[in-house]
Structure 1
């Protein structure tokens, strides 16, 4: 009983009431009725005030602290709030807030570690599968040649060509992995310069036209001839971003389809937009297409080549430019990828004064 707020309040109230009555008894005109009334009032008021103070300012907060500590021991942090919006004059509230904040911080740390562990497991599984495919193919061709097919000149050339293709795919995969790793670690630095984005896209489209012609795909380039499209960015990395987006638009388009590349400038920004009229991307896949090795149609994607890292690299390059890649897609109608870069507004030179 002495460990509860009511027990402590009762003892203190009795003591206060007794002191009050003893003090009044020292007065000559104190009557028994006055002593009883004064004792009762002092006891009641003291009991209520002490009980409320102990219950709401001390015992309640101690109870919260024990509850949080119990949840921490059980690793169950559900229902724990940081208490930053709660106000109280209790001196224990600060301790309670500190414990709650610590518990929530540890909970977030545990969740992050669990997500990282899950990511590592998925990444190891993905990279193992991606590496196994070209290695297994090249290994099969080489062993076939070693088993006797090397004597046949035609078979030898065909198998060596296929093995070389598999090894080239493996080399590209390793190169993309290194590039992505360097970007994430900050080793791969950005070299910003002023250049014409229109000229870069024209050069890239000319480079990819042969690839598009093989599937009878037409690439259209739209831009306002009266506007300038100079930007400040890492030219090589932006070239890679555009190359990846246009290549994907060709790769995942329908035979005889079209790819539209648009340049728009508004205020202080330049928008690059790449549109295709292919199969499109299902809504449930849109949020995941920028993950490493994620493919909407795994079998179809592997048939068309690629490492599954292109869009992940695009995302990191644009983040390094304080921009982001946007995508909208309708199944059966196609997809639109777009991003923005700052417009390099070069002031015109003032004409020299003639003397």
Structure 2
């Protein structure tokens, strides 16, 4: 029979089961040798002491030919209150008990049961009945007859540990639990450690960190195979992302080159023929197309940028200067931007992305708000919540969830004539999501749009 290896899950379960069963089998096989309630060979030293007692009895009654009187003396001696030694029993060669008592007591009943189990008088044995031990026989000569001597004495020694366990099912159950609990805890630890490492690796992938983790390929065979497959998947995703980034770079180069030539040709045409509405429209659309390509490439890089460099920085170093510049720009447009004090907390993330996320929202509010923009901060449960609202036209409730889609424009206010490409909020949503945050839009109390995002803080 080929045993399974212990380095896999089933092997470890089998090992625990096999070890527990071996303990039970060893305990069961040991019981007959440990249980004094079963007949077993009499120890040599005990049998030697019994022979010495026999010689003392033979010497004491060597001249007495009345066997009944000898037996009575031995029985009366055992009944004396001060006598705590062994009690002697005499039987004939056939095992019949010779006694003067009319009503056999427990000791005589135990002796009768013991003599029937003796296979040979040449093999003395002993057996425990409750707290009373019976041993023998030893040949003895009394009153000119060849008889057999048995000894009975009170057994004050405690029974073996295994015997006490098997006599008490509750203690046996507790002992089995005590032995098996460390094994089960070890098995639970062996299963939980690789599973926890795999869960942590999956969380890193969910955050956009596609890194191969060599520790996943440790543990049982099943978890090593799962970890190896997981690392292969991460490598395949990294290769796919690298290929996509190369493709985007090539597309960027191929698209921007004809756009540059188009704008140069338009500039030459304007110099030769003078300015015209058609040429101005060509230049405007070329600029807009170039801006759209730049923002689209930025969005694609953010969505596929799994190896972001993260730093721990205070919130104020990220957003204080940005908001001050936005406040100045709002004043130039005769608009008011009010902001609360930035919380004195730290955040772990990519600084350019975090700055771009808030900047896109604030500039969007400045552009579409009539004259009021408000920025609010709050901290709770190790999270910072930032909300930006304005008093512009706002967004219909049915389209609040759609404005974070790339190229999506609200027909009432954010159309193509407003100058936007529909990628600002999409870039913001991607940045927030890559930092394990959430973003949502709702109607502001000022009458316009309110954008709120939440980010986890660093302890």
What TM-score results when the alignment is normalised by the length of structure 1? 0.49
Question: Would you tell me which structure has more helix in proportion to its own residues?
Answer: 1
Higher relative contact order (CA 8 A, sep 6+): 1
What TM-score results when the alignment is normalised by the length of structure 2? 0.39
Question: Would you tell me which structure has more strand in proportion to its own residues?
Answer: 2
